Amino acid sequence: MTASSSLSRRNSTTHLIGLLLGTENDWPRAFETLTKRLDPINHRGRQHHVDTERITIEPFDLRDPVRHDVVIDRLAWWYYHPREWLKKAALVNDTYLINNPFTFQAMEKHSAYCAMIRLGFDIPATVLVPYKNPVDHEKWAYTAESYNLVFDLDEVASRVGYPMYMKPFDGGAWRGVSRIEDNAALHRAYDESGQMLMHLQAAAQYDSFARSLTIGPETKIMRFRPELPMHDRYEVSHDFLPPEAGMEILTLSRTINAFFRWEFNSCESLVTGTSVRPIDYANACPDIAITSLHYYFPWAITQLVSWSVFCAVTGRRPRVDTNSREWYDVADDPDLNWADKLGRYALMSDQYFEADTYREFCSTALASLPEIVYDWITSAEFDALLMETVRSTYPPHEQERFLAHLRGLIGLWVADQR
């Protein structure tokens, strides 16, 4: 740091955003570059600097201080040492975490279904069946013999109805998911489920599959094609939903997040006409790789930078607790119809995320960000990152094709900005 920049830093506040990462290098590079280019950020008459740091894993004392103001976590869903560090940071150090590690760990897909059923959303019929194979515990045999009721899988399935999906209660990344058309397939899938705990869920018919990515109070609804390979799943398609369905998905996405204190999450809904059936929305810290999001990547990285910088600079206070009762009071109010309830949920979500304050912050303190993003996306540096990402993602014989594909979609985004 030069003498003059260290002097200017003395009259300002510096914030540190930590990135807890797995294998990805694309969006973290984008995040680091864009926050550096935003510097300095002027907010309410004060200058702020935001530094970023990739967090490393090492032994920690439970009383150790945490240097980071905000941590974005993409790792703790499978790596337990940093997961426990996050909890200590939340409870001991009051660190702002994206996402809440407590609800993220406790509230898998099953809990998210339950909560959204309670709030009145149209979740397909879903039944949890007991384990196929004994759990590995010395007390199992006695308990199962004494208390496990014999059940008729076919009878349970006939209540759900065919076709249906069998999928793990805590699923993700399509692990263990199968579509079931008849009794024979049902028994085969159940036999194979072993020690996975499974839901049977009625298959929903749909005109369009909407995947909504929410970061802070902002949501992007994207048309999704689950049957295609990953790089083709997000289709560039605007206005593909009737407005009522679009509004319901926006509200649903933010409601789930405000309810569970998640701030970076994606949600899948199946839409027929104006009817919205959510099927998967416990995907906190989802994949936002350039190779998956392509056209939508600039939106996602802009939001991730904006929201985390907003939290750091304004000193937003983290919440580890939830306020389920306030949501249930709306859900249970006999004087409200469904549209009224959605309106209330939208309002409560906006309040939780300080949507108005956030938007004002974006249009003042972060007013230069859209141009910074545009300049960077159209630079040689970004193209080099694209090449590097393609090289590390695809085998050599496919790289040229994928690079052309991605450049084309990014070019489409660039054209749409004019």
Shorter beta-carbon distance to ligand ADP: residue 172 or 242: 172
Tell me how far, at minimum, the Cβ of 362 lies from ligand ADP, in Å: 31
Q: Which of the choices Mg ion, ligand ADP, none does residue 84 contact, using the CB cut-off of 5 to 8 A by kind?
A: none
Residue nearest to ligand ADP (CB): 280
Contact with ligand ADP (CB under 6 A) among 19, 55, 115, 204:
204
From residue 237 to residue 276, the character string flagging contacts with ligand ADP as x (rule: CB under 6 A) and all else as - is -------------------------------x-x------
Q: Cβ of residue 202: shortest distance to ligand ADP, in angstroms?
A: 6
- Which residues in the 59-78 window bind Mg ion by CB under 5 A? none
Determine the Cα–Cα distance for residues 361 and 353; give it in Å rounded to an integer. 13
Binding to ligand ADP in span 356-415, by CB under 6 A: none
The interface mask with ligand ADP, positions 143-182, x = CB under 6 A, is ----------------------x-x---xxxxx-x-----
What's the CA angle centered on 172, arms 352 and 236, to 5 degrees?
75
240-279 residues in contact with Mg ion (CB under 5 A) are none
CB-based contact 318:94 (threshold 8 Å): yes
203's tokens: 């298959």
Place of tokens 């980071």: 68
Q: Which segments of 273-360 are extended strands (E)?
A: 275-280
User: Which 8-state DSSP code applies to residue 251?
Assistant: H
Cross-strand bridge partners of residue 166? 178, 200
Footprint of ligand ADP on 213-232 (CB under 6 A): 226
Among 144, 203, 247, 320, binds ligand ADP (CB under 6 A): 203
Kindly state whether residue 280 participates in binding Mg ion, applying the rule CB under 5 A. yes
Work out how close the CB of 99 gets to Mg ion at its nearest, in angstroms, rounded to a whole number.
Answer: 17
CB under 5 to 8 A by kind: which of ligand ADP, Mg ion, none does 203 bind?
ligand ADP
40 binds, among ligand ADP, Mg ion, none (CB under 5 to 8 A by kind): none
**Cα-based distances in Å from 26 to 30, 291, 296, 326, 390:** 6, 9, 14, 39, 10
> Contact, 333 vs 325, CB < 8 A?
no
Min dist CB 160 to ligand ADP, Å, is 10
For ligand ADP, the closer CB: 125 or 347: 125
Quick one: which segment of 5-13, 84-92, 199-207, 338-346 binds ligand ADP (CB under 6 A)?
199-207
Rule CB under 6 A: which of 78-137 touch ligand ADP? 124
Give 167 or 344: the residue with its C-beta nearer to ligand ADP.
Answer: 167
Contact between 169 and 107 under an 8 Å Cβ cutoff? The reply is: no
3-state secondary structure of 236: coil
Give the nearer residue to Mg ion in terms of CB position, either 35 or 253: 253
Q: For residue 300, which of 72, 27, 51 has the smallest C-alpha distance?
A: 27
User: What DSSP letter does each residue of 181-216 carry, written as one string?
Assistant: -SHHHHHHHHHHHTT--EEEEEPPP-SEEEEEEEET
355 counts as binding ligand ADP under rule CB under 6 A:
no
Assigned token pair, 89: 């940071």
Handedness of CA 73, 75, 78, 81 (dihedral sign): negative
Contacts 24+ apart (CB under 8 A), 377-383: 377/298, 377/410, 377/413, 377/414, 378/414, 381/33, 382/410, 383/407
Alpha-carbon span 97 to 103, nearest angstrom: 12
Give least dist CB 23 to Mg ion, A. 20
**Residue 29 contacts ligand ADP per CB under 6 A:** no
Find out whether 78 and 42 touch, Cβ atoms under 8 Å.
no
Binding partner of residue 218 among Mg ion, ligand ADP, none, CB under 5 to 8 Å per kind? none
Choose, by CB under 6 A, the member of 208, 280, 372, 386 that binds ligand ADP.
280
Binding site for ligand ADP (CB under 6 A): 124, 165, 167, 171-175, 177, 201, 203-204, 226, 268, 270, 279-280
Binding site for Mg ion (CB under 5 A): 280
